[in-house]
Structure 1
Amino acid sequence: MSQSRDVRVGLIGYGLAGSVFHAPLIDAAEGLTLAAIVTSNPERADEARKAYPDATLYATPAQLWQAADTLDLVVVASPNRTHKPLAMAALHAGLGVVVDKPLAASAGEARELIEEAEKRGLFLTVFQNRRWDGDFLTLQRLRDEGELGDIRRFESRFERWRPEPKGGWRQSGAPGEAGGVLYDLGAHLIDQALMLFGPVRSVYAELEHRYPDAEVDDDTFVALTHDSGMRSHLWMSSVAPECALRFRVLGSRAAYCSVGLDGQENALKASARPDQPGWRDAVEDGRARLVAGSEERPIDNDPGQYLRFYELVGQRFLAGEAPPVDPRESLAGLEIIAAAQHSSAEGRVVDLTHA
């Protein structure tokens, strides 16, 4: 453990996840120092060196493990297939770990990581950043304040319009790659549903392949029945020419309807930083309203707080407290993803109570 005030962090991967989400948030979070970055891509290494001149650049994770005594924590922001082996290597090096979602390519791999971290008494958490989306924070607040009454139906969508596939590993059908929108977007929607309504007892899903020669799902629907009897209907798509409501949450008193995605991702892509002036001006959030029959009023969504995840990582790591995202919650999400795949392939509802 570092004797300094800051937790020293090594970041593995400097693609979209590493450069847009993790590196700027780690660098901005009080209590964390971005001490090392791993990327084998020379162009990305040059970009990282310019953006974070105080960080040591490594070409391979093996080089990082040789310098493990200079670090406290490792962030795994590499392709999904590498999440489990890299996180396991970090644990074996005696380091705490943050893994970008999904925690692993399967529930079995995730369980191995959790058991290893618990055996070694090491910090393990998952970057489920959309728990800190502004619209989701707003929905949680409205629920807790009783504005919606008893929530009766939860509809959630994460849709994009990409007429042509982007290519890359996310379009690969190899099971270990964990590609497709169910893993990419669905992991967020499932996690949010679990946070709101608790464990799930049954899953029904329709995984569609719309792109020509597609190997993975790109247009998917998942229906969850929670232990409480609450139902969550989740849509995720890369091929939606018109995006529907992000949230449509029906309660006994009112409905919460939100249009558009949280703007933090686009602001980060535009190089805005949450620790710099003008951050809130750079974030263009979606629009929201409360509806009760003919009565309707617009509301402002609460500010999103991705930075809060890494602030909590720093605080809880140093204090030896539970991480901001319990990895067993991400494990539950992976079990639901597997059930959704089985449901779609077999055309039936999958009962998780006897899984």
Structure 2
Amino acid sequence: MGTGFIFFLNYRVEIIKSFMKESVIRAGILGFGKSGRNIHAPLIDACRSMVLKNVVTRTGPEQIPGRNEVNVMRSAEELIRSEDTDLIVITTPNHLHYKMAHDALTAGKHVVVDKPFTVTAEQAHSLTRTAEKSGKVLTVFHNRRWDGDFLTVRNLISRQAVGRLVEFESRFDRFRNYLKEDAWKEKDLPGSGILYDLSPHLIDQALQVFGVPNKLFADIRNQRWGEADDFFMIRFYYDDFTATLRAGMLVADATPRFVIRGTMGSYVKYGFDPQEEALARGDDPHGAEWGHEPENKFGVLRTADGDSFREERIPTAGGGYPQFYRNIADAVNGKVDLQVKPAEAAEVIRMIELALKSQKSGTVVDC
């Protein structure tokens, strides 16, 4: 028997062993509201190494329609104590994230926390230490790293499509001129309001591309006179450019999602990534067209061409939300490193705390 054949057999054995070692991760969702039902559950379904086993919802039917195989529990404690749950996804109100994540980690569970990670940076660092001590995976649902428009913008900046960058703007605007009485996000609670709701997306994206800024300034307002803030503008100051992050609830006009300006031109992109809406419709994340936009949604790159300008529609990259849970499964099985590390998510919370400090003082603050 030749050495080549023996090598081939050994290779096949190692491949089989690797598959045998890879276990199916049993997931439980703590808080089965809109986010848990429409976003996390279908993304878990799209991961071949994961199965949704349990959910916690305090009210509603004893079985989830269309999900007879999923157990319905009525308390966080029941899920955390359960022996048939390996991974707990926390989608509760923000002020509960820290305690529930801490209890889950100390009970030996892997944990995904929906954004924002925690209310304070100290809580975030504490959870990171707890995860390291327990040897369990801890991560945060910064899914918008896989927005197609963000991936496109990141590529354009990397290849200096607008020349040397001088301005970056990222917005997440909506229009709703009334308050929802039953919405905890609009109540006077720690971690409530649009700053904690939407700025984690924008801050995390900016930090991924540019790193920590030198300084920042923030303007945070309550424009609808409710209990929680509903507008923010955060400006990051880097050596040669600024990054402005904005969101508001009273923006009826069409504003761009992204604007990048440089010494050779600009790129402007309107509209939101289609994946969240597609998940809510029940579209299959395995589909070939998943995360892709039609041509009329493409952003426009406008660059100097002598004394005139050249305009080009830039195809939006395909989005990849399913990658989030696939990466977690591989990390739990020891195959890869986490793509969303808790230290990175903690830095997002630190930026929010600095934004609140800037708002209170009315000044630019060091980062």
Partner of 2:169: 155
Q: Tell whether 2:223 aligns with 1:205.
A: no
Partner of 2:185: 170
Query: What TM-score do you get using the length of structure 1 for normalisation?
Result: 0.91
Instruction: Find the aligned partners of 1:273 and 1:306 in 2 and give their Cα distance.
Output: 12
Instruction: Find the aligned partners of 1:285 and 1:13 in 2 and give their Cα distance.
Output: 37
Instruction: Find the aligned partners of 1:285 and 1:334 in 2 and give their Cα distance.
Output: 36
Instruction: Find the aligned partners of 2:33 and 2:296 in 1 and give their Cα distance.
Output: 24
Q: Tell whether 2:319 aligns with 1:304.
A: yes
The 3-state SS of whatever aligns with 1:203 is strand
Q: Where do 1:42-57 residues align within 5 Å?
A: 42-43=60-61, 46=63, 49-57=64-72
> Cα 1:65–1:170, aligned 2, differ >3 Å: closer, same or farther?
same
**Residue 144 (structure 1) shift:** 2.8
Paired letter, 1:58 = M
Residue of 234, 249, 271 corresponding to 1:238: 249
The 3-state SS of whatever aligns with 1:319 is coil
Partner of 2:10: none
Q: Are 2:22 and 2:333, in contact at CA under 8 Å, matched by a contact in 1? A: no
Q: Tell whether 2:37 aligns with 1:19.
A: yes
Query: What TM-score do you get using the length of structure 2 for normalisation?
Result: 0.88
Q: Are 1:272 and 1:282, in contact at CA under 8 Å, matched by a contact in 2? A: no
> Cα 1:282–1:12, aligned 2, differ >3 Å: closer, same or farther?
farther
Q: Are 1:260 and 1:287, in contact at CA under 8 Å, matched by a contact in 2? A: no
Q: Are 1:10 and 1:73, in contact at CA under 8 Å, matched by a contact in 2? A: yes
Instruction: Find the aligned partners of 1:184 and 1:79 in 2 and give their Cα distance.
Output: 10
> Cα 1:297–1:137, aligned 2, differ >3 Å: closer, same or farther?
same
CA offsets 1:194-236 (integer angstroms, 9 cap, x no match): 0110012322111111113x2221121111124x554211111
> Cα 1:286–1:16, aligned 2, differ >3 Å: closer, same or farther?
farther
Q: Tell whether 2:133 aligns with 1:119.
A: yes
Q: Where do 1:30-49 residues align within 5 Å?
A: 30-43=48-61, 46=63, 49=64
**Residue 320 (structure 1) shift:** 5.8
CA offsets 1:12-41 (integer angstroms, 9 cap, x no match): 111111011101100111211111111112
Residue of 248, 263, 268 corresponding to 2:259: 248
**Residue 119 (structure 1) shift:** 1.7
Partner of 1:98: 112
> Cα 1:118–1:276, aligned 2, differ >3 Å: closer, same or farther?
same
> Cα 1:51–1:246, aligned 2, differ >3 Å: closer, same or farther?
same
**Residue 66 (structure 1) shift:** 2.5
> Cα 1:192–1:280, aligned 2, differ >3 Å: closer, same or farther?
closer
**Residue 268 (structure 1) shift:** 1.3
Residue of 250, 253, 268 corresponding to 1:257: 268
Q: Are 2:290 and 2:318, in contact at CA under 8 Å, matched by a contact in 1? A: no
Paired letter, 1:312 = N
In structure 1, list runs of 5 or more residues that go unmatched. Answer: none
In structure 2, list runs of 5 or more residues that go unmatched. Answer: 1-19
CA offsets 1:158-203 (integer angstroms, 9 cap, x no match): 00011112341111223x2x11111111111111110110012322
Q: Tell whether 2:20 aligns with 1:6.
A: no
Instruction: Find the aligned partners of 1:130 and 1:330 in 2 and give their Cα distance.
Output: 13
Q: Are 2:299 and 2:314, in contact at CA under 8 Å, matched by a contact in 1? A: yes
> Cα 1:282–1:16, aligned 2, differ >3 Å: closer, same or farther?
farther
Greater shift in the superposed pair: 76-85 or 314-323? 314-323
Q: Are 2:292 and 2:316, in contact at CA under 8 Å, matched by a contact in 1? A: no
RMSD: 2.1
> Cα 1:350–1:90, aligned 2, differ >3 Å: closer, same or farther?
same
Partner of 2:152: 138
Partner of 2:195: 182
**Residue 286 (structure 1) shift:** 3.9
Instruction: Find the aligned partners of 1:187 and 1:38 in 2 and give their Cα distance.
Output: 25
Instruction: Find the aligned partners of 1:202 and 1:145 in 2 and give their Cα distance.
Output: 25
Partner of 1:219: 231
Alignment size in residue pairs:
343
Partner of 2:278: 267
Instruction: Find the aligned partners of 1:259 and 1:90 in 2 and give their Cα distance.
Output: 40
Instruction: Find the aligned partners of 1:31 and 1:241 in 2 and give their Cα distance.
Output: 43
**Residue 58 (structure 1) shift:** 1.0
> Cα 1:277–1:321, aligned 2, differ >3 Å: closer, same or farther?
closer
**Residue 254 (structure 1) shift:** 3.4
Instruction: Find the aligned partners of 2:188 and 2:71 in 1 and give their Cα distance.
Output: 35
Q: Are 1:31 and 1:314, in contact at CA under 8 Å, matched by a contact in 2? A: yes
> Cα 1:266–1:82, aligned 2, differ >3 Å: closer, same or farther?
same
The 3-state SS of whatever aligns with 1:40 is coil
Q: Are 2:215 and 2:366, in contact at CA under 8 Å, matched by a contact in 1? A: yes
Q: Tell whether 2:70 aligns with 1:59.
A: no
**Residue 65 (structure 1) shift:** 2.3
Instruction: Find the aligned partners of 2:29 and 2:54 in 1 and give their Cα distance.
Output: 6
